[in-house]
Amino acid sequence: MSNTSRLANTKSRLEVRNARLSDVPAICDLTERVYADTVMKGYTQGAVRGQINNFPEGQFVIVVGSKVVGYCVTFMVDGRRALKAHTWAAITGNGYAANHDPEGDWLYGMEVCVDPDYRGYRLGQRLYNARKKLCQEKGLKGIVFAGRLPTLSKRIKKFGSVENYIEQVQNKKARDPVLSFQLHNGFEVIGVIKGYLPEDHHSMGYGIHMVWRNPKVGEGDSSVRKKAYGGRLPDTVRIGTVQYKQRRVRSFEEFVSFVAYFVDVVAEYKGDFVVFPEMLTLQLLSIEDQELTPAESIEALTKYTPRFKEALRDMALRYNINIIAGSHPTRVDAGRVENISYVFLRDGSIHQQTKIHPTPNEDYWWNIEGGESLNAILTDCGPIGVLICYDAEFPELVRHLVDQGIQILFVPFCTDERQSYLRVRYCCQARAVENQIYVVMSGNVGNLPNVANMDIQYAQSCILTPCDFPFARDGIAADTTPNVETVAIADVRPNTLMAARNSGTVKNLRDRRHDLYHLHWTGQ
């Protein structure tokens, strides 16, 4: 049975999958056969192992039964490097994909080869599709590579120059077996690289510099320098807590601009969550020319609720970050006034958590009533919980959330002076220790003239950890200078948390005496 007739067999299956180390000998054999009629050589087993080990997600094979009939190599790269002239050896690390950059913003197409006996089945198209899918899953700007011109050496006299040859192919007045295919697949020529691969005599050493731009990523200036520092491990969750200054604003749009500034800052640091303080939206009351009564204040805030939710959801999507949006006093459908923390996830979904225990101050000034529902919120970084300020002083609430599987608790707070702040801080540290979780606090600074019950602020926002060897010595992953508008950022590691729960110096969760006591939740 010939190779091509194998696919005609109804029992045959063609599969595109990631390459495995067990495929290395077959891949090497394939590349030797593909380049047999050229002076170039196939890849060594060491090079193919390097490609797979350096970026397992980026290497694809096509198999028919157990036979490898196609191979594709990619790696991630910084656009500043890939979008300017380069050589094949320099950018690929001599074929090992050794320059793979996990923080790169482009996918580099290093190789596509197809078994000559299986041509005609659009195997190259399938590999290009796999590349595009990977690029979009990674949220990269696009794919960049330098392609071959395998018929150039035979046709250069007719066209006079490589530039003219490319132009004729682009205008469909000539056809090139590789370039025409790439143009058909949405790639565009951005230049010609002389001496890209000197051994490629058929292409006369030229590489045709091409890109495909990811349609799911907005147009950006590729020349803008990208920060090459602040890297993070792949199993971490990066959190930014905003110590936010309450200040007078002249419009809702100005308020949104202040919030967007901090969202942008944390997003630039590749954050997964940005956290704002309790009563974040009370500064909207400063738009009014005079101090309002508590009842008037609530009504004034309620009219902003739809715009607030729309604006913050849009931010979460645009900046690709999950936003814990402090809290917003709201009159709900039942006529009650509740202090609600809205959570905007980067997939576009909106969640909310009502404050369970209003403080005497909130009850007196705002007639705020407590909620009855407390649920974990599922995010792309695992289940999280939100408790607003005073709620963190009730250990039963945190235990209820931990029983639902949370590993990170967010606590937006608003306190007027140091002793009030320390009540919340000490309780949050206790919750981190006794439940073996991370706790993130975010508070206000500044003041709001003509806004009742927001006279002075005291805050020292922080990210707290359990107290054990895998964590920071003092149980503080990051904190801020008190009463200064700023951001604290830290990476937390859920896997480390699970290891501490199972094999730490103390195992608070595992050692609970369920035979003696338990938490019975009667709310929603």
Dihedral (Cα; 186, 189, 190, 196), 10-degree rounding: 120
Dihedral (Cα; 61, 62, 67, 70), 10-degree rounding: -80
DSSP 8-class letter at 293? P
Task: Report the run of H or E that residue 134 belongs to, with start and end.
Answer: helix 123-137
Contacts of 364 (CB under 8 A, 6+ apart): none
Q: CA–CA separation, 35 vs 52, rounded Å? A: 21
Across 78-199, the runs of DSSP E, i.e. the strands, are: 106-114, 142-147, 188-193
Tell me, yes or no, if 278 is annotated catalytic.
Answer: yes
- Give residue 208's identity as a one-letter amino acid code: I
- Helical axes 395-403 vs 418-435, angle rounded to 10°: 40
Task: Report the run of H or E that residue 29 belongs to, with start and end.
Answer: helix 24-34
DSSP per position, 375-436? --EEEBTEEEEE--GGGGG-HHHHHHHHHTT-SEEEEE---SSHHHHHHHHHHHHHHHHHHT
Instruction: State the catalytic residue, choosing from 355, 362, 428, 485.
Output: 355
Is 59 strand, coil or helix?
coil
How many Cα atoms occupy the beta-carbon half-sphere of 17 within 13 Å?
Answer: 13
Cβ(469)–Cβ(505) below 8 Å: yes
Beta bridge partners of 107: 76, 143
Cβ(376)–Cβ(357) below 8 Å: no
Instruction: State the catalytic residue, choosing from 132, 245, 278, 362.
Output: 278
Q: CA–CA separation, 195 vs 191, rounded Å? A: 13
Is 153 strand, coil or helix?
helix
DSSP 8-class letter at 266? H
Q: CA–CA separation, 399 vs 385, rounded Å? A: 11
Tokens 């101090």 appear where?
291
Q: CA–CA separation, 480 vs 384, rounded Å? A: 23
Tell me, yes or no, if 355 is annotated catalytic.
Answer: yes
Closest CA to 76 of 147, 135, 18, 129: 135
Instruction: State the catalytic residue, choosing from 28, 381, 389, 467.
Output: 389
Cβ(456)–Cβ(494) below 8 Å: no
Instruction: Just list the catalytic residues.
Output: 278, 355, 389
